[in-house]
A and B are shown apart, each in its own frame.
Chain A
Amino acid sequence: MSDYLIDLAKWQFWMALAAAILLVAPRARDQHRSWVYALLNLGFITLLVGWRLGAWVLAGAGVAWLLARAVRYSPRRGIWVVLAMGLTIGVFVLHKLPTWSAALRLEQINPLLRVVAFSYIALRLIELYRAMYEQRYDAPDLVSIINYLMPFQMLAAGPIQSYDDFVSQPGEPRPLNAQVTLSAAHRIAHGVFKKFVLAFAIKKLFLTDFTVHGFYWILEAQMFFIWLYLDFSAYSDIAVGIGRLIGVHTPENFNRPYFARNMIAFWERWHISLSLWIRRNLFFPVQIALLRRTDGKKPMLCASVGFVVAFLLCGLWHGIAWNFVVWGAMHASGLIMVNYYRGFLTTRLGSKGVKAYLANPYIKAAAMALTFEWVAISHLTFFYRF
C-alpha cells in the first residue's frame, strides 16, 4: 500500500478533524461556512500529497465544475454529458489499471487517484452529471463541487453521498449542543475502537491472507467477513460522527448486516450508500427500460437482467479483473435466487403461509446463516486472481 493512503494512525486526519471542529462547527450561521469547509477539504488533501498534486486536485475540481455547467446549460447537453461521463470512466479505468496509465506515460496521477479514492469520487461525479443532465438542480459553484466530491471525512472509503442528499442539506445546520457533541464523540470513539482494537485483534489472531488449507481455511473465511465488517463500518462510524460534529450530513452505511435473512435484505444493510447508488443508477434504469420493452409481461426476467448488469458493474467497480466479475456474478445470482424463491413460496404457500414461514425462528436462523455463508464465500474472490 502506498504511504499516500489516508491513515488514521497518522496526524493529518486528526489535525483536519481538529481544524473542522474549530473552524467549521462554530460557523453554523456563517455564510462563509462552505468556503471554510472547502478550504479544509483541499488543505487535507494537500497535506497528504503536497502542493503540486494538491493544485492538480483543484484543477480537477475546476474541470468537473465546468463540465457540470456545460451539461446543465449547454444546448448540446447530450454531447457534454457523454464527454463528462466518458472522461470520468476513462480516469477511473486509469486508476484501476496502473499498467494502462504507465503505457500512456500518466503514471504520476496514480498515487493522487489513490489518495483521493477516485473510485468513490467517480460515483459521485456520475450522480452529479446525471442530476445536471436531467436538469433537477442548478449547476453548483466550485465550492459546492469540492465539498460534494471530496469531503475529508468521507474521502477514504465513503459513504457515497447522493447528489440529492447533498443538495437537500439545510444551509444552516442544527447548532451543536452537548447532546449532539456527546453522541458524535461516542460514534467516533466507537469507530476508532472497532478499527484499532476489535478488527486489529481479529486480524492478528485469525487472518493469514488465506495461506492455510483445510478446516482453518473455512474458519478464516468466516473471520474475514467479521473483520471486514468491523474494519469497514469503523470508517463509516468515524465519518458519521465527524459529520454530526461539524453539521455536514453523512449518510449511514451499515445496519446490522449479519441479521439479513437473504441477499436482498443484505444489500439493504451492507454498504448502503453503494447499494442505493447501484439501485438509482444501474438497476432501476435497466429494469424500467426492459419492462417498457416487454410491456411488463416478464417482471422477474427484467429484474434478473437488472441484477446481473448492476452487480457485474459493481464487481468491476471493485477492480477490473475476473475475480471481481465472479464476485458480482455471485451476488447477482444470490439476488436472483431470492427473487424466484419468493415467487415460488407465494404460489406454493399463499400469502398466509409465507407469513408463517417467515415467522418461523428456525427458518429465520437458517436463512441468516445461509446469507452469511454466501457473502463470506463471495469475499474469497478478493484473494484469488484468475
Chain B
Amino acid sequence: MKVLRRFLFPVQGLSPWGFYLRLLLIALQLLLAYCLAEQNNPFFYQAF
C-alpha cells in the first residue's frame, strides 16, 4: 500500500495527474528536440 501510494503521489504538493503530465511534456519536448537537433548550431550570443 505504501509503495502504491508513493507511486501514485510521487511529488509532494503536486497532483499525480500534474506530475505525470509534466513528465510526459518533458519527454515530448526532449524527443522533439532530439529529432530536430542539428550540429553546428551554436547560440547566437556565443559569437560575442
Binding site for B on A (CB under 8 A): 1, 3, 5-10, 117, 119, 156-158, 178-179, 182, 185-186, 189-190, 192-193, 195-197, 200, 228, 231-232, 234-235, 317-319
Q: Contacts A182-B11, A196-B36; is A189 near B43 (CB within 8 Å)? A: no
Of A1, A200, A228, the contact of B42 (CB 8 Å cutoff): A1
Q: A5-B46, A186-B26 are in contact. List 4 more A-B contacts (CB 8 A).
A: A179-B14, A182-B19, A196-B41, A200-B38
Q: Is B43 a contact of A9 with CB atoms below 8 Å? A: no
Residues of B within 8 A of A158 (CB): 45
How many Å lie between the Cα of A191 and that of B29 in the bound state?
9
Contact present for B44 and A232 (CB under 8 Å): yes
Query: Which residues does B use to contact A, with CB under 8 Å?
Result: 10-14, 19, 22-23, 25-26, 29-30, 32-34, 36-48
The reply to whether B43 and A193 contact each other, CB–CB distance below 8 Å, is no
Complex CA gap A232/B44 in Å reads 7
With A200-B38, A318-B48 as known contacts, state yes or no: A156 contacts B43, CB within 8 Å.
Answer: yes
By the criterion CB–CB under 8 Å, are B22 and A7 in contact?
no
* Shortest distance between the CB of A93 and any CB in chain B (Å): 14
CB pair A189–B11 under 8 Å, yes or no, is: no
Say yes or no: A235 contacts B48, CB within 8 Å. Answer: no
Beta-carbon contact of A232 and B33 below 8 Å: no
Residues of A within 8 A of B25 (CB): 186, 189
Shortest CB distance B47–A (Å):
7
A216 to B42, CA, bound (A): 25
Partner of B22, one of A10, A117, A157, A186: A186
Known: A5-B42, A182-B19, A186-B26. Contact between A195 and B33, CB under 8 A?
A: yes
Instruction: With A1-B47, A9-B41, A186-B26 as known contacts, state yes or no: A196 contacts B11, CB within 8 Å.
Output: no
**B38 surroundings in chain A (CB, below 8 A):** 9, 196, 200
Contact (Cβ within 8 A) B37 A117: no
Most chain A beta-carbon contacts within 10 A, residue among B14, B40, B42, B47? B42
Provide 10 A-B residue pairs closer than 8 Å at the C-beta atoms, listed in order of the A residue: A3-B40, A156-B42, A157-B43, A186-B25, A192-B33, A195-B41, A200-B38, A232-B43, A232-B45, A235-B43
Within 8 Å CB of A235, what residues of B? Answer: 43, 45
- Alpha-carbon distance between A195 and B43 when the two chains are bound, in angstroms: 8
